[in-house]
Amino acid sequence: MRVTSNTYTNLVISSSQTEQQQLALLQNQISTGNSIQNPSDNPAVYAQAAQDQTTLSQLENYTSAANTATTLTEQNNTAMTSLHQIVAQAGEYLASVTSNMSTSDMQDLGTEMTSLVSELTSIVNQKGSDGNYLFGGTANQPPIDTTTGDYNSAANGTTTSIEVEPGTPVQTSIAAGKPGTDGFLYDSASGTDVLAALKQAASDLNSGNATAAQGADVTAVNNALNLVSSYVGSTAANMSAVSLATTRLSAQTTTQSNTLNNLVQTNLPAASVQLQQLESQYQASLEAGTRVMNLSILDYMGTVTTP
Amino acid sequence: MYSTGLNGSLYLGANSLNAQQLAIQTVGNNLSNINTPGYARERANLVENDVITNSGGGTISSGVTVANVESIRSSLLDGMVQQSLGSQGYADDQASLTATVQTALGETFTSSASSSSSSSTTSAGAIQTALSTFFGSLQTLAASPTDATARQDVVQDASSLATSLNGAYSRIQQVQSQAASDASSITDQINQLAKTIASLNQQIVQVQAASGSTAGSLVDTRTEDLDQLSSLVNVTSTTQSNGSITVALADAPSVVLVDGDNGGGAGTTQSLSVSYDPTSTTPLTVSGSTSGSLGAGIPSGGSLGSHLETVNNLIGAPAADGGSGLLAQLDGVATSLKSQMNTANEAGYDLNGNAGTAFFTGTGAGDLAVSSTIKASPSLIAAASATNSPLDGSNAQNMANIQDSSAVVPALQGIVGNVANAASTAATHQTTQDQITSQLQTQQQSVSGVSIDEEMTNLISFQQAYSASARFVTTISSLYTTLVNELQ
């Protein structure tokens, strides 16, 4: 092929453009830390990275939800543990009643029992840090009417859940319940009524009814203890479920984050080596181009002598 | 009239001097135009003069003359370069336009240092980030339905999402409008070039008719103009016997842009124009001055073809106007999000125990907005599934689960992926086409290009021939002197 003077110039411009584009790309990758900036840099990688990014965002959202669920399930379990202690204490008071106990001593126990009912009311009607009643169902009402000391009809037994993993809700609220609505104070299947059991026991003790205190009241308080115990267990199970989910979410988030970073972020050692290679190539290209372009017959032409 | 003898020899020497001088002038012209775009090197074709009969017997040649000064061109390579430039114009603009559309969409990767660890976090673009944040807010609301801050966050993040979609949509519409405006400028350039080529046709025909040889520099200029025209729109050109060329659209041969000395709408030729209606299914159309609209996708090549492709197919019309391009696809995502969110919100109950209302308003991505009533009172977000259940956030969870719908996040990722593929393909096509054009131009240069070394060598050769011819004339002159002196 015939080579003309502009062939060299065009070659130098063309190769210089190509190498400078590659240098600019590498410089960008190293300075931003991302191997791709625009989706078109690598559509296949982008598609994968975008999905990973969505998954990562979802994991972060679930982690946030799990943190809230942790707080709520711990609150529930703490409340049930306290309630269990109250009912157990009530059982101990009843167990201490003897047939020959004086009326005065029984009234003292009745006073203690009434205090336990107050403590129970305080626990059951407690509010969370957000000011909402914890155990009044979704109605945000106190389960026990402090004026009458009886169940509040405005409360309901609806519990709530939080999704801590995709498709995995964990119960994060428990309801006190009321006659006709099951909860940790009332169970329609066994006919257990915790509030009524303690109030009846206090009443019998105050009235000196040892027979009732040693018989029906003990049975009722034992049933109440069983009901509350089951809630201590279920709230502990919920707490454990959230804890396990949190651990899994943390591991998945770390893995997903690493996957995304490996996919999108620049491999700095490899990019640095590539940059050095490209620099050398560019220098060689410029040197070769400059040398060839400098060659000219004009440098060798002297004065033309006439024959 | 040549003759033998001293007079004939003098004529012979003088002719040689003229021929070498013209050859040297040709070398000079080549050197001075070495960097002129479109210039084809010229060559002075020297031919031996007629043979004459010597009075003493036998025949003798009578010197040299310049038959013509020829432009060295390959019509095959010129045609291939012209075609390649049409593809190059398309590829260049397509790469540029698709990259601009991608930028307008705004879904680029960014990294930032993570506050929770030493590593950096990556986000995949404004809309996708806004979607993730919005659904995250709904999830937080599901856990804390009475939390006023959580409700405010949902409204705020929904507004940011709507703003992101509105912004991307508006930027893409601006790109479309700008591309349509550029297309109008391109047709103006095409019409102007057609007129210029027609004018050159006229001059070339006159010069060739007068001199009988090719009009080198005029043909060079016309070839350069034809190359420019080819990069703007794909055309076919036919050289006529009188030296003029006829130029027509490759996709519509009946639309003749240049015919003899007519061009740009004069005589039987047509001028091109564009019309842009963003609400039409085909927003940008090209028309011939007498043919009318050329139809969808015509012309298909050159810069103009690229602009048509981008405006009509890549971006397209909004969904409401029957489009199927990027705008319509964004409308689809926005409409699906609005529809699913509204259905979910209307199925639930707000903080006051009332049935929910529409969450989003708008007809597409361009005007998606959070309902003004919900914006004014976030308590109207229907987070609960039952009335008078302020602590129930299950309906907010239902809304958060819309993120799993294939019509929202995956659909958006699909849209971004499509634009990415279009931009990537266009960039690859541009690189390939660039190499093809470069190789063809190198081949064209190998035929028509000027070599300094070659020209300088020729210069020495012609200079020496000129010197020798001059010495020859001097010698003949001295012979004359000798003859005259001897006769005295």
Contacts of residue B3, Cβ cutoff 8 Å, sequence gap at least 6:
B11, B52
Could you please state the CATH topology (level 3) that the domain comprising A71-237 is classified under: f41 fragment of flagellin, N-terminal domain (1.20.1330)
Please report the pLDDT score of residue A174 as a whole number: 95
Please report the pLDDT score of residue A295 as a whole number: 84
pLDDT band at A307 (very low <50, low <70, confident <90, very high): very low
User: What are the extents of the domains in chain A?
Assistant: 1-24+269-295, 71-237
Q: What angle do CA B328, B334, B336 make, to 5 degrees?
A: 100
Option in B108, B136, B471 nearest A57 (CB) = B136
pLDDT band at A129 (very low <50, low <70, confident <90, very high): confident
Asked if the C-beta of A68 comes within 8 angstroms of chain B's C-beta atoms, the answer is yes
Q: Does A227 have pLDDT greater than 60?
A: yes
Q: How far is CA B158 from CA A302, B399, B448, in A?
A: 81, 12, 64
pLDDT digits (tens, 9 = 90+) for B229-249: 999 999 999 999 888 999 999
The chain-wide mean pLDDT, for chain B, equals 91
Answer yes or no: do B449 and A260 touch at CB < 8 A: no
pLDDT band at A292 (very low <50, low <70, confident <90, very high): confident
Answer yes or no: do B119 and A257 touch at CB < 8 A: yes
Answer yes or no: do B388 and A60 touch at CB < 8 A: no
Q: Between B395 and A167, whose confidence is greater?
A: B395
- Residues from chain A contacting residue B103 (CB–CB below 8 Å): 38
Read off the pLDDT of each residue in A176-187 and give the average, rounded to a whole number: 95
Please report the pLDDT score of residue A32 as a whole number: 87
Please report the pLDDT score of residue B208 as a whole number: 82
The answer to whether residues B263 and B195 touch, using CB atoms and an 8 Å cutoff, is yes
- Residues from chain B contacting residue A58 (CB–CB below 8 Å): 132, 135, 403
The answer to whether residues B80 and B148 touch, using CB atoms and an 8 Å cutoff, is no
Backbone phi and psi for residue A170, each to the nearest 5 degrees, phi listed first = -120, 135
pLDDT band at A302 (very low <50, low <70, confident <90, very high): low
The answer to whether residues B391 and B141 touch, using CB atoms and an 8 Å cutoff, is no
Read off the pLDDT of each residue in A19-46 and give the average, rounded to a whole number: 90
Distance, CA of B388 to CA of A172 (rounded, Å): 19
- Tokens 């090197």 belong to residue: B41
Please report the pLDDT score of residue A293 as a whole number: 84
User: What are the extents of the domains in chain B?
Assistant: 5-72+449-487, 78-97+181-324, 99-170+329-427
Q: Does A303 have pLDDT greater than 80?
A: no
Give the nearest chain A residue to B149 (CA atoms). Answer: A130
Percent of chain B whose predicted confidence (pLDDT) is above 70 = 95
The answer to whether residues B98 and B419 touch, using CB atoms and an 8 Å cutoff, is yes
ipTM above 0.90, yes or no: no
Q: Does A207 have pLDDT greater than 90?
A: yes
Backbone phi and psi for residue B118, each to the nearest 5 degrees, phi listed first = -80, -15
Q: Which of the residue ranges A32-46, A208-222, B228-242, B351-365 would you say has the lowest mean pLDDT? A: A32-46
- Cβ-based contacts under 8 A for chains A and B: 205
Give the nearest chain A residue to B414 (CA atoms). Answer: A47
Distance, CA of B303 to CA of B208 (rounded, Å): 34
Starting at the edge strand that comes first in sequence, how are the strands of the sheet with B272-276 ordered?
B272-276, B284-288, B292-293
- Residues from chain A contacting residue B460 (CB–CB below 8 Å): 301, 304
Q: Which stretches of chain B score pLDDT less than 50?
A: 114-119
- Residues from chain A contacting residue B151 (CB–CB below 8 Å): none
Please report the pLDDT score of residue B63 as a whole number: 87
Distance, CA of A74 to CA of B378 (rounded, Å): 29
Q: What angle do CA B92, B169, B273 make, to 5 degrees?
A: 50
Distance, CA of B181 to CA of A92 (rounded, Å): 90
Please report the pLDDT score of residue B108 as a whole number: 82
**Residues found in chain B:** 488
Asked if the C-beta of A255 comes within 8 angstroms of chain B's C-beta atoms, the answer is no
Distance, CA of B331 to CA of A161 (rounded, Å): 35
Read off the pLDDT of each residue in A28-53 and give the average, rounded to a whole number: 89
